[in-house]
Structure 1
Amino acid sequence: MERISVNTSSKSYEVLLGKEMTKEIIAFISAEFPNVSTVWIIADEKVFSIYGKPFAEELKQSFPVKVYTAPSGERAKSFDVYHEAITHGLSNQVDRKSIVIAFGGGAIGDLAGFVASTFMRGIPFIGVPTTILAHDSAVGGKVAINHPLGKNMVGQFYQPEGVFFDLDYLNSLPAKEILSGYAEVIKHAFLSDASFLEYLKMNFVSVSGLQEDFVLDCLLKGIKVKGEIVSKDEKEQGIRAFLNFGHTYGHAVESGCGYGMRTHGESVMIGMVYALYLSKKYCGLSFNIKEFADWVISLGYDLTIPEDLTFDHLLKKMRSDKKSKDQMPVFVLLKDIGDPVLMVVPEEGLAEADLFIREIPKWTGHI
């Protein structure tokens, strides 16, 4: 079992990675919350149908357990689902001595964390992520739901008590979810050092047949990158904003396509290529974007933008991004790999990068 400490100004906790982690979770709750009244599992309905019943049954041997299942993916992060979850907790006598378990991918972690942060003014929660993507969202305490006008617009910073990454839950991930998760791993590589990125390019050549040691190593590297940044800047007053590399344009694409129609990771991948173009233009980044695009497309990432999703539509969404300044989106760009900077980019540059993205399928031969 591997262990990573995350130390923020409001809370310190550990991320544990290993196999058969349910006993570790029971031991943790018993030690840290000996008077717990209810363990309230908020789970992805698909994940729960595969892994949830034995997980809940094992917990029931030690604690009273209630289970709320939410729709899979971004559909979980709506006002209606949030309201339904709160109602479920109140109807099942969940109280201030209860603890929430977020059981699923990144969307469930966001929903369950936000429910925990607001239920009776806040009860503790732990994360049990079941996807590679969630190695990013499960660490750092950003919890939120979506608004029709923007992703993660309703939320707050609320740190978990601990995160338990059970590698057994990754065995059934479909290819698109593996790709979605590795987009965030690649993002962490861009924010840390070139050797991490080269390591990924050398070893990540297909979504099938990934070795467990490689997956674990990637999770550890990615979590360490995020943990170090979050420890220095818990509430995104400075360097934590760098973790949004690829997210400004990526969120606009994800929202514009309709939540759940495109994975978060694939949208971020598109956003990273967009940001790499801007980085070359405005920051002098020396980087072969064509080679990078060829690699990620060969893995299965779809970098195409629907024709009906116009630049004007995407720009409107980027202007409403939480990081915007004076109605202009603020981008995380790279002066070099591992050397990010925040920059407001003029509209003509944004339009040029959008055109570049739309041309990629032509010059990579993937049309």
Structure 2
Amino acid sequence: MMNDEIYYNKQSIREEWHDQLFLEDAYRSGIGFARRVRLARIVGLTALFFPIAGILVTHFHSGGWWLLLVGWAFIWPHLAWQRACCSSEPHGSEMFNLKVDATIAGVWIGLMGVNAMPSAALIVMIGMNTMGSGGLRFFLTAITLTLLSALVSLQLTGSLIQFSSEPLEWWLTLPILMLYPVLFAWLSHKTAIRLAEHKRRLQLMSTRDGMTGVYNRRHWETLLRNEYEKCRRSHCQTTILLIDIDHFKSINDTWGHDVGDEAIIAITRQLQMSLRSCDSIGRFGGDEFAVIMSGTPAESAFTVMSRVHERLTTMPLPGAPSERLRISVGVASWRPQFTHYREWLKAADVALYKAKNAGRGRTEVAA
């Protein structure tokens, strides 16, 4: 029998999980991208229907072109959306859809004889969509497809090149040239806000502990290193605290991990209520916390923790009313003798173990 721990620690299994998470994230991102393009496509093609229809009427084109125009303006946006949604790679499918947009736009440009106003509106729409979606290289690819399909359309339909636009064509096209960039800017703004929020959440996830909301160990040690350098330069008074929940394993074993989580959160809330907003609280381990009290001597830190000890004696846990939380605290102020911030941390750790050995539920200051 294969041991489960060995099995789940295999590199191949970890890589499989990583790949699966990456694919799921890529799929969600692709669907979001297709949804943004869908709105722009629906609005743009619906608005372009009218100037192109006006030219079809004046040039007496056959009914087949009318069917193509109706399908392109009112059916294609929804087909493109369904195609992206049903694909395992929505982003790639939507990029292909944009190439289709560029190709069909060229067909209409050729059929209209490169009529100035509708052609300009088509190129503006295709250019903004492709530049915003894939950058300069994709934009150049799409414009090349548009020009090639326009040339082919001119040859096959025998349309005469006529750059000038009639007043009706001006009035039907002008709103598109004015409003479509505004729509695109609005969609870009929404995307920028969403990305900024996503970045903010990632920053929180990288610096905060998920359960308590205080700093995680890695970020707290970064803050400690910065504080150490600050003290070394200006010899300011700063104290750090290491805090351990007494008999935490016994709480977990007796009452369950849910009550253990309640204990961790309760200690966090007591620290937040007792300390200043400028003090940096970190979760240093499973049941261990660390605090940086900038500009605070050890005596003041000792006084603050005495109040925390008193409050904990009268604070029951909802999941274990008979249980009383106790903490052991090690306190260490910065001293010029410290050659590294880890020596400072070690001094607080030694004071913490001194508190534990002296009976727990107390605060000890490093000698």
The TM-score, its normalising length taken from structure 2, stands at 0.20
Find the structure with the greater CA-based Rg. 2
The TM-score, its normalising length taken from structure 1, stands at 0.20
Quick check: which one's strand share is greater?
1
**Greater RCO, CA 8 A, separation 6+:** 1
Quick check: which one's helix share is greater?
2
